[in-house]
Amino acid sequence: MKGPNNHEDLHFLLLPFMASGHMLPMSDIAVLLARRGASVTLITTPLNATRLRPTLAPHHPLISLVALPFPPATDSGLPDGCESFDALPSRDHELAFLRATESLLAPTLRHLRARGRAPPSCVIADAFLPWAREIAREFCAPRLVFHGCACFATLCFHNLIAHGALARVGHERERRIFVPGMPHEVEITEEQLLVDVTRLDDFSVEMWEVGEAADGVVVNSFEELEREYLDVYREAAGKDVWMIGPVSLSNNPSNTMDRGGKASTDELRCLDWLDQREPKSVIYVSFGSIGRLSPPQTAELARSLESSGRNFMWVIKGNTNDNGLPEEFKEEPITERRMVVRGWAPQVAILSHGAVGGFVTHCGWNSTLEGVCAGVPMVAWPLFAEQFLNEKLVVDVLRVGVRVGVERPSGWAGEGVGVVGIETIERALEDVMEGGEEGVLRRVRAREIREMARKAVEIGGSSFVNMTRLIEYVSEYRYVKDDDA
Ligand code: UDP
């Protein structure tokens, strides 16, 4: 009988949800597993495979990136060529997209059943893909769930659902709810929850139940950052929880240029531009892969950045030209003081550049963690999803960020909320880039946490050890199964 450390014959099946904020960390997890000598199959669709290939397949022969066709528009009701959540024209297609992913179940099973192919020894599946349960069942493999959130936010949702607090939410959108069972007081408005958790109804219930029944939970975070939530969550979930992040540190810096897509502006130009700026002088602004500001809010932010007198690099999504961006920003996107990137930007490479001194972020979990890894203080500007919870973590718990003061969640195009005014934005920018004594402390803390993050992923660090434990768990699971047979 072989010992539990023979990783080379372990085969991990990774099923990422098709959205940048979920696929990118999952592809980093693939790299981490391959580094430990395990083989990995990552299933996605053709357009997404094209985005992931540059950072995966050529560098890691143990990773096989499998592209299975996504249903055509006629069957799915989605726009043609829409294979990723961030490519949806609006939230109205959300449920259709989630349901359309189920069509990957049959071809995934066919792929895995093919003769001569090693069966998976473990399935790591995104929580948004509850059908992954069938695959784990067929191959008697442990199924680990990946939520893509911080441990803090995962615990909040877990407790809200487990204590029945979500079932009680009505339509009093400004009513404040205390999240039960947290190590300290956490308050959130009904509206901030209603937008995302309860709107998908049956799907949310299925996702929750399947997630609860998983054998373990994989979290892109690290123990030193969220230890108190980890302890409570482990207890509440009643299963293993492995914190193996920040997974964005898994790739070579030279690989991060193509992370998640071809940059729209010549990527080297971003870094060249940063090279010519003073250390810590640039404000980097990005609202992630999905979020957009309304045209009036875009115009107000543009005015604020201009009047701040500081250098800034601003990444803007959306194809329309009437997005509120001032004409001069469109005509002259690159000047001494500004660089406007329209489309995809190499965010991890930008954030880790020494010229970046502050990060205006929508508080998506990946962006938040990437900001933490770069040791830059943040202006928290949450838009929707669990971003309001991440804001609390960044501002109140870690104290490496300041609020811009958004209270209400917006739609994907930034609609449905008021405009944050120029004075408020300027104050937040000033606080994060200067901010007096508190600003100095914020920057010190940000640097300290960055060091903790780096140590966590080094050999012997907490995340490294967690990954070892995860692999051992899978090995042992296999031995128990083999012995039973
Ligand atoms: N990202 C990027 N370039 C962009 C926009 C986003 O590299 O122009 C990456 C970013 O680094 C992060 C992910 O896409 O890893 C976005 O995930 P996050 O959880 O921050 O936000 P979401 O897009 O899911 O709202």
Measured in angstroms, how far is the CA atom of residue 289 from the centroid of ligand 1? 5
Residue 424 CA to residue 432 CA, distance in Å, equals: 12
Report the complex ipTM: 0.99
Residues 219-226, mean pLDDT to the nearest whole number: 98
Measured distance CA(296)–CA(313) in Å, rounded: 19
Q: Give one DSSP letter per residue of 200-267, joined into a string.
A: TTHHHHHHHHHHHTSSEEEESS-HHHHHHHHHHHHHHHTSEEEE---GGGGS-GGGGGGTTS--SS-H
Residue whose C-alpha is closest to residue 335's, from 300, 317, 310, 358: 310
Kindly write down the DSSP assignment for every residue of 387-405, as one continuous string: HHHHHHIIIIIS--EEE--
Q: What is the CA radius of gyration of the chain?
A: 22
Distance (Å, rounded) from C-alpha 462 to C-alpha 439? 29
Q: Which two tokens stand for residue 279?
A: 């250390």
Looking at residue 42, its pLDDT comes to 97
| Mutation pick for ligand 1 pocket among 17, 20, 393 (CB with most ligand atoms within 8 Å) | 20
Give distance in angstroms: CA of 264 to centre of ligand 1: 14
The proportion of the chain whose per-residue pLDDT surpasses 90, expressed as a percent, equals: 73
From CA 279, how far away is CA 295, in angstroms rounded?
Answer: 31
- In this prediction, what percent of the chain has a pLDDT beyond 70? 91
Give the model's pLDDT for residue 169.
65
Q: Span 145-156, mean pLDDT?
A: 97
For residue 328, report the distance from its CA to the centre of ligand 1, in Å: 26
Between 320 and 103, whose confidence is greater?
103
Q: Which residue has the higher pLDDT, 138 or 3?
A: 138
Predicted confidence (pLDDT) at residue 437 exceeds the cutoff of 50: yes
Place of tokens 């049956």: 202
What distance in Å separates the CA atoms of residue 124 and residue 147, rounded to the nearest whole number? Answer: 10
Write out pLDDT tens, residues 54-93. 888 666 899 999 999 988 777 878 888 889 998 888 888 8
pLDDT surpasses 80 at 449: yes
> Is the predicted pLDDT of residue 194 greater than 70, yes or no?
no
Structure confidence at residue 165 (pLDDT): 74
C-alpha distance from residue 389 to each of 226, 363, 407 (Å): 13, 9, 12
Q: Do the strands 63-67 and 39-44 form a parallel or antiparallel pair, or are they unpaired?
A: parallel
Please give the distance, rounded to the nearest whole angstrom, from the Cα atom of residue 472 to the centre of ligand 1: 31
Residues flanking ligand 1, CB < 6 Å: 20-21, 24, 259-260, 286, 288-291, 315, 344-345, 347-348, 364-367, 370
Ranking 178-182, 193-197, 232-236 by mean pLDDT, the lowest is: 193-197
Tell me how crowded residue 145 is: count the other CB atoms within 10 A of its CB. Answer: 28
What confidence tens digit (pLDDT) does each residue in 115-134 have?
888 999 999 999 999 999 99
**Tens-digit pLDDT profile for residues 236-266:** 999 999 999 999 998 766 566 677 766 555 6
Least confident of 6-15, 100-109, 301-310: 6-15
312-350 as b/e: b if 16+ CB within 10 A: bbbbbbbeeeebbbeeebeeebeeeebbbbbebbbbbbb
Of the two residues 462 and 261, the one the predictor is more confident about is 462
Amino acid at 475: S
- The whole-number pLDDT of residue 170 equals 63
Phi and psi at residue 265, to the nearest 5°: -90, 145
Higher pLDDT, 41 or 166: 41
DSSP annotation string for 142-181? -EEEE--S-HHHHHHHHHHHHTTTTTT--S-TT-EEEPTT
Distance 86 CA to ligand 1 centre (A): 10
pLDDT of 366 > 80? The answer is yes
DSSP 8-state assignment for residue 131: T
pLDDT at residue number 246: 97
Residue 1 has pLDDT above 60, yes or no: no
**pLDDT(417) > 60:** yes
Helix, strand, or coil (residue 192): helix
The residue whose CB lies within 8 Å of the most ligand 1 atoms, and thus the one to mutate among 146, 366, 368, 391, is 366
pLDDT in tens, 266-287: 656 899 999 999 999 999 999 9
Atom of ligand 1 nearest to the CA of 291: 25
Predicted TM-score (pTM) of this structure: 0.95
C-alpha 207, offset from chain centre = 18
Average pLDDT, the chain: 90
pLDDT at 195: 53
| 289, 316, 350, best to mutate for ligand 1 pocket (most atoms within 8 Å of CB) | 289
Residue 3 pLDDT: 43
Task: Give the residue among 236, 271, 273, 234 at the shortest CA–CA distance from 469.
Answer: 234
Q: What is the pLDDT of residues 26-39, one digit of tens each?
A: 999 999 999 999 99
